[in-house]
Amino acid sequence: MQATLFSELGLSAEVQRAVQKLGFEQASPIQAAAIPVLLGGRDVVGQSHTGSGKTAAFAIPAIERLDLNAPGPQALILCPTRELAMQVTEEVHKLAAFKRGVRAVPIYGGASYTRQFAELRGGAQVVVGTPGRLLDHMRRGTLNLKNIRTVILDEADEMLNMGFRDDIETLLKDSPATRQTVLFSATVPRAIEELIARYTKDAARIRMESPTLTVPTVEQVCFEVDRRWKFEALTRLIDLHDITLGIVFANTQRDVVDLADHLVAAGYGAESIHGGMPQNARERVMQKFRRRQTELLVATDVAARGIDVDDIQAVINFDLPYDPEDYVHRIGRTGRAGRHGLALSLMSGREVFLVRDIERLTRQRLRRGQIPTIGEIEDAKQNQCLRDVRETLKAGDFRHYDHLLEVLLEEGFDSLDVASALIHHLFARAKAAQASNKAEKAGQDPDRERPQRPVEERPARPVRKPAPATPRAPVGPRVATPAAAGSRPAVPAVAPATAIASETPTPTAGAEQMTASDSATEIPASPAAETVSASVPEGASAPAVVPVPRPASSQPPRPAPAPRPARPMAPRPDNRFGVPPDRMGRPERPMRPDRPDRGDRPQRPERPMGAPMAPRPERPVREPRLPQTPRPPAAPAAPAGAPKPVLSPEELAGGRPEAVSEYTRLWLSVGEEHGADQKTLRDFILGTTGEPAESIRHVDVRPRHSFAEVPTLRASAVLGQLKRAPFGDQRLKVKVA
């Protein structure tokens, strides 16, 4: 096909200047075929693969057909996602940079209504947005379609797959019948054909004939791998191809988040993006990806429609799409503007049948590949190093170190050995830098895996010698305690409590007692000394002391301290209970004079066996109580389940104490992911219900839902006003928590 220049398409000087500034001279096939037809005002149905320049094909004619003196929007462009709407708006701004008075505004959910209201009131001629938010503005009366000249459906097949068909038909019905209708899509299914037949007039069909629906510069390879080893295969493919800017696709939002977390934990710079994220978070992720601050972008099909980055190295399908047409859109993210692209797909189990559907749709067989081994990855890195060195040698742009090489050669080293050693050091440093970079991205310490130094054996502590015990003067008379034959000296008997209490401890005595106790615990027990008995005076009882044998110690035994002198022990009388009458030295309690002795009490006569029991005396009859004055009847209680009275906002604001005595906790279906925060949600509730500011308390915003407390007497009214209320691009759901 002969190349067509933009200067041959009959464009205005301002648009041609903008195209030249963007660096384009020749129009793509879809641009060369569609722009002249669209400038003539005819309806067009364009079909071409992703990345072929469809945006400029419909944006340039839309800008050229604007009447800058007419009020209101004149061009309406529908997009399936927020990212694509922002991308198209930026493209319109670039193409109309030198055409004064042209204003374009993006309209999508999750963004501020205030800014969109101001842009629409300011007289924007080109409105680019998603169907849901556009329909919302139209119902609010802030978007007027009476002056619309052109309605463009970009990625029409994807909008129908996302369930926007009813919204699209409503917008087309409310736009003027004299409008120009334009549809651009990578595929044209039956649903698109129905829209074409119903809402277009004599549409010109422009289709780029190609043996396949995919970009020919994209290399497509699929790998069959077990589901359990998919992540390992993914990391090996990333390392093999040295992917520094790529997109990884998964089918569900949960899989996207989990896969991004696993990649970050493995040391790769990855971010997740999906349709359930707030708009500001999605914009932040896309900015990082465009600036190459993120290596891998893990996304779903919905979020990936607005990704327009020219130098994406590879697209990896971690999960194959259920719809073969989504595969065409996915791999269209790479290989743009004639660059080489790489599309890698992992299939497991039933996904083999999805590959057959993809091959049938694209009319191209996907090449089967094998998961690379560790050795193949190392070989690939060496080949990459060799290519880098070869390019450096060919360019000659390097510093010469001949004097260093001559020193090594003069020392007798071979030139090949010197080169091998240098390459070895190069690989070692590169591997260390890569490991450090991965550990830093994963939030780990690079030195965490280094082996610890062996701990040196500590020297044995010297044995502490006990202080010599100082004998203490006896307090009272001592009791002789002769030792048993063949045993150690007898242990002194325990003194009674009275003797212990009579002693006044001194600091010296306390220290002596502590030292002796500590020394005694270090002495190993002798096997021969199992039982030691103490002789006590006649009539007294003393417990025998049995030493507990201790395990043998490797340290030398400490010398035994001098035995302590025995304390006097009061004699105990022998009774059948073994307890002295004075209760361990305490004086006897005197008997109360008003209490008779137990022995003087009258005893109950014994009743012989079988004799009848004596009759009990009759109880005296109590006098009847006088009747009390009856209490006034209480107010009848409200029946169970009866509704509480509902107060008006004026009564609630008047400060009635019963109005705010109880609160009811409400659950709301919006959270941080929907763009809600504590102030925004509080203002939304107050603005929707008209309640006073002091009636709402404890607004708790969670990631996917929120809680708010309202007065119980106003809970039913607040529930009725908040249900199905529009919050952003969705309807609010409210219930009692």
692 CA to centre of own chain: 36
Q: What are phi and psi of 221, to 5 degrees?
A: -135, 140
CATH code at 218-376? 3.40.50.300
**Is 649-736 CATH 2.30.42.10?**
no
Lowest-confidence segment of 91-100, 344-353, 568-577 by average pLDDT: 568-577
Q: Are 659 and 646 in contact (CB under 8 A)?
A: no
Half-sphere exposure of 338 (CA within 13 A, CB side): 1
Q: Give the pLDDT of residue 465.
A: 53
| Least confident piece of the model among 8-17, 51-60, 419-428, 627-636 | 627-636
CA distances from 697 to 111, 662, 700, 716 (A): 26, 12, 9, 16
461-463-464-466 Cα dihedral, nearest 10 degrees:
170
Dist CA 278 CA 273 (whole Å): 10
Cα 20 to Cα 27: distance, rounded to the nearest angstrom: 11
Q: pLDDT confidence of 482, banded at 50, 70, 90?
A: very low
| CA–CA separation, 50 and 247 (whole Å) | 16
The pLDDT of residue 191: 85
Please give the average per-residue pLDDT across 486-499, as a whole number.
42
Q: What is the DSSP string of 20-80?
A: HHTT--EEPHHHHHHHHHHHTT--EEEE--TTSSHHHHHHHHHHHT--TTS-S--EEEE-S
Backbone dihedral region for residue 38 (phi beyond 0: left; psi -120 to 50: alpha; all else: beta): alpha
Q: Which of 25, 81, 80, 34 is nearest to 54 (CA)?
A: 34
Q: Other C-beta atoms within 10 Å of 471: how many?
A: 10
Report how far residue 449's alpha carbon sits from residue 66's, in angstroms, rounded to the nearest whole number: 65
Q: Which residues contact 675 (CB under 8 A, 6 or more apart)?
A: 110, 278, 279, 280, 728
Q: Which residue has better confidence, 66 or 351?
A: 66
- The single residue listed with the structure tokens 């030691």 is 532
User: What are 627's strand-pairing partners?
Assistant: none
Q: What are 121-173's pLDDT values in tens digits?
A: 888 999 999 999 999 999 999 998 988 999 999 888 888 878 888 899 999 99
658 or 237, greater pLDDT? 237
Per-residue confidence band for 432, with pLDDT thresholds at 50, 70 and 90 = low
Q: Between 173 and 417, name the one with better pLDDT.
A: 173
> Same CATH topology for 4-207 and 218-376?
yes
- For residue 606, give both structure tokens: 């014994």
pLDDT at 331: 87
Which of 385-389, 632-636, 670-674 comes out lowest in average pLDDT?
632-636
Q: What is the DSSP string of 412-437?
A: T--HHHHHHHHHHHHHHHHHHHHHHH
- Asked if pLDDT for residue 731 goes beyond 90, the answer is no
Contact residues for 91 (Cβ-Cβ < 8 A; gap 6+): 55, 56, 59
Name which of 74-78, 250-254, 415-419, 655-659 the model is least confident about: 655-659
Distances (CA, A) of 75 to 64, 156, 203: 11, 17, 18
User: In this predicted model, which residue has the larger pLDDT, 558 or 122?
Assistant: 122
The CA distance from 159 to 131, in Å, is 9
Given the structure tokens 């299914």, which residue do they identify? 189
| pTM attached to this predicted model | 0.45
Parallel, antiparallel, or unpaired for β 706-711 and 697-701? antiparallel
Q: Where are the domains of the chain?
A: 4-207, 218-376, 649-736
Percent of the chain, pLDDT > 90?
A: 17
How many CB atoms sit inside 10 A of residue 304's CB? 22
The closest alpha carbon to 500, from 585, 587, 589, 588, belongs to 585
The pLDDT, as a whole number, for residue 73 is 92
Per residue in 162-207, pLDDT (tens digit) is 888 889 999 999 999 899 999 988 778 888 888 888 999 888 998 8
How far apart CA 169 and CA 158 sit, in angstroms, is 15
In this prediction, residues 696-722 reach a mean pLDDT of 85
Summary mean pLDDT of the chain: 74
What one-character-per-residue DSSP string does 252-311 give? SHHHHHHHHHHHHHTT--EEEE-TTS-HHHHHHHHHHHHTT--SEEEE-HHHHTT---TT
Between 525 and 593, the higher pLDDT residue: 593
Q: Which fold has domain 4-207?
A: Rossmann fold (3.40.50)
Q: Which residue has the tokens 């044209």?
A: 188
pLDDT tens-place string over residues 578-601: 445 554 445 555 555 555 555 555
State the CB neighbour count (10 A cutoff) for residue 165. Answer: 16
Rounded CA gap, 265 and 261, in Å? Answer: 6
| Pairwise CA distance, residues 232 & 85, whole Å | 36
Q: Are strands 663-668 and 734-736 parallel, antiparallel or unpaired?
A: antiparallel
Instruction: Quote the CA–CA distance of 278 and 706 in Å, as a whole number.
Output: 15
Which residue type does 715 have? A
Q: Which of 167-176, 239-248, 306-315 has the lowest mean pLDDT?
A: 306-315
Among all chains, which residue has been given the structure tokens 């050995």? Answer: 417
Going 420 to 422 to 428 to 434, the CA torsion angle's sign is negative
What are the φ and ψ backbone dihedral angles of 137, each rounded to 5 degrees? -65, -35
**Quick one: three-class SS letters along 130-170?**
CHHHHHHHHHHCCCCCCCCCEEEEECHHHHHHCCCHHHHHH
Residue 97: other Cβ atoms inside 10 A = 15
Look at 279-293, 484-498, 586-600, 671-685 and tell me which has the smallest mean pLDDT: 484-498
